[in-house]
C-alpha cells in the first residue's frame, strides 16, 4: 500500500443536531479533513456507506443488491423530523462520481458482490453531516453506496475488503453511523435532554469492548458482537448504525488493528467514537491525538 494511501474511516454522526451543535465530535471532524490532507493526501473522491442509505433485504422484491448512487451532483437530504428548523437551511451540494461508480461495481463483482449503478443522487444526514465539517467547500466527489439491510457483519466486512484497492487510488472509504445508538434511551427526557450527562455504564462497557477487540484484531468476536459484547442489544436495538463500521474495517483488512482515533459522548449514552483501519490507521491516531 502506498505511504499516502487514505485509511478507511468509521465516523459516528450522532443525532441530526450534530450539524448545528458540533461538540467534541464535530470539532474532531473539522480537524480531520485537514489532517487527512496534511498526513496523507486530499481525497480525489469519497465512497460513503451510511446507516441511512439502505436497500431492500436480499429476500425483498428488489433482490437486495447494493446500489451505487451515481448522480453527477448531490444535494443534502433531510431524512429526519422533529428537530431544529435551522437544519433544513443547511446545504451540501457536492459533485457525484459517476465514473468511479462503474469502477466500484467491477471491484464488487470481482469479489462476488453484485451491485447496481443508478443515476440517482442525494446525501443523507449521516453523510453530509460529517462532510460539512471535514470538507466544507463540498468540492470532493461523493459516491454513496446503499447496502442491503440484512447483511451480517461478516458479509459487510467482505464487501469492504472488495473496496480495499481504492485507498491507493486516492479514494476515501467512509462508514457513517454511531458506535452506540439507542435513541429511546438518549431522548427519554425529550429532544433537548442533557447532552452533557455522565456516561452510562452500559455505553462505556460496550464502547470499551469494541476498542479492546478491535485492537486485538479479534474479528470473529466482532462479527458476533451481538451475542458476546456487553449490552449489545441495548446499545443497538437495531444494528444499522453500527454495521458501516464493518465495511470500513473490511476495507482496512484483517492484518492491522482497528484504531479508535476519537472518543466522545452525548446524552450519556450516544457514543461519538471514530475509527481508522488498515496499515496507516496508527499514523492517523498519532496525529489526531
* Per-residue three-class SS string for 264-284: CEECCCEECCEEECCCCHHHH
Q: What is residue 58's predicted lDDT score, i.e. its pLDDT? A: 64
Residue 104, domain extent: 9-288
Task: Tell me, yes or no, whether 2 lies in a domain.
Answer: no
pLDDT for 61: 47
- CA distances to 10, 84, 154 from 115, in Å: 22, 36, 18
SS3 string of the chain?
CCCCCCCCEEEECCCHHHHCCCHHHHHHHHHHHHHHHHHCCCCCEEEEEECCCEECCCCCCCCCCCEEECCCECCECCCCCCCCHHHHHCCCCCEECHHHHHHHHHHHHHCCCCCEEECCCCECHHHHHHHHHHCCCCCCCEEEEEEECCCCHHHHHHHHHCCHHHHHHCEEEEEEECCCCCHHHHCCCCCCCCCCCCCCHHHHHHHHHHHHHHHCCCHHHHHCHHHHCCCHHHHCCCCCCCCHHHHHHHHHCCCCCCEEEECCEECCCEECCEEECCCCHHHHHHHHC
Q: Is residue 261 part of a domain?
A: yes
Task: State residue 190's pLDDT score.
Answer: 58
- Whether residue 244 lies inside any domain: the answer is yes
In a domain? residue 4: no
Is residue 116 within 8 A of residue 68, CB to CB? The reply is yes
Quote the CA–CA distance of 129 and 17 in Å, as a whole number.
9
Give, for all 289 residues of the chain, the pLDDT tens digit.
788 999 999 999 988 999 999 999 999 999 999 999 999 999 999 999 999 999 977 655 445 799 999 999 999 999 998 889 999 999 999 999 999 999 999 999 999 999 999 999 999 999 999 999 999 999 999 999 999 989 999 999 999 999 999 999 999 999 999 999 998 887 776 556 677 888 999 999 999 999 999 999 999 999 999 999 999 999 999 999 999 999 999 999 999 999 999 999 998 899 999 999 999 999 999 999 9
In a domain, 23, yes or no: yes
The CATH number of whichever domain residue 166 belongs to comes to: 3.40.830.10
Look at residue 3 and tell me if it is in a domain: no
Q: How many domains does the chain have?
A: 1
How far CA 69 is from CA of 144, 149, 192, 219, in Å, comes to: 5, 16, 34, 29
Grid cell 454495521 is found at 243
Domain contains 1: no
Q: Does 82 fall in a domain?
A: yes
Amino acid at each position: 500500500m502506498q505511504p499516502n494511501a487514505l485509511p478507511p474511516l468509521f465516523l459516528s454522526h450522532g443525532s441530526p443536531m450534530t450539524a448545528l451543535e458540533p461538540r467534541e465530535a464535530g470539532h474532531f471532524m473539522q480537524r480531520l479533513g485537514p489532517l487527512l490532507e496534511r498526513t496523507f493526501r486530499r481525497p480525489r473522491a469519497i465512497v460513503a456507506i451510511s446507516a441511512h442509505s439502505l436497500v431492500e433485504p436480499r429476500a425483498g422484491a428488489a433482490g437486495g443488491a447494493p446500489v451505487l448512487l451515481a448522480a453527477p451532483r448531490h444535494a443534502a437530504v433531510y431524512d429526519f423530523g422533529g428537530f431544529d428548523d435551522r437544519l433544513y437551511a443547511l446545504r451540501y451540494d457536492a459533485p457525484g462520481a459517476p465514473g468511479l461508480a462503474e469502477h466500484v461495481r467491477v471491484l464488487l463483482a470481482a469479489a462476488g458482490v453484485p451491485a447496481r449503478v443508478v443515476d440517482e443522487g442525494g446525501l443523507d444526514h449521516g453523510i453530509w453531516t460529517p462532510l460539512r465539517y471535514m470538507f466544507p467547500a463540498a468540492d470532493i466527489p461523493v459516491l454513496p453506496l446503499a447496502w442491503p439491510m440484512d447483511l451480517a457483519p461478516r458479509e459487510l466486512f467482505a464487501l469492504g475488503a472488495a473496496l480495499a484497492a481504492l485507498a491507493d487510488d486516492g479514494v476515501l472509504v467512509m462508514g457513517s453511523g454511531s458506535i452506540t445508538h439507542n435513541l429511546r434511551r438518549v431522548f427519554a427526557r425529550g429532544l433537548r435532554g442533557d447532552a452533557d450527562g455522565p456516561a452510562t455504564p452500559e455505553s462505556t462497557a460496550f464502547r470499551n469492548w469494541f476498542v479492546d477487540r478491535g485492537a486485538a484484531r479479534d474479528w470473529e468476536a466482532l462479527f458476533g458482537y451481538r451475542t458476546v459484547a456487553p449490552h449489545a442489544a441495548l446499545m443497538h436495538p437495531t444494528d444499522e448504525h453500527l454495521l458501516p463500521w464493518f465495511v470500513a474495517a473490511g476495507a482496512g483488512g484483517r492484518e492491522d488493528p482497528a484504531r479508535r482515533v476519537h472518543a466522545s459522548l452525548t446524552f450519556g449514552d450516544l457514543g461519538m467514537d471514530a475509527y481508522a483501519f488498515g496499515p496507516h490507521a496508527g499514523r492517523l491516531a498519532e496525529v489526531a491525538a
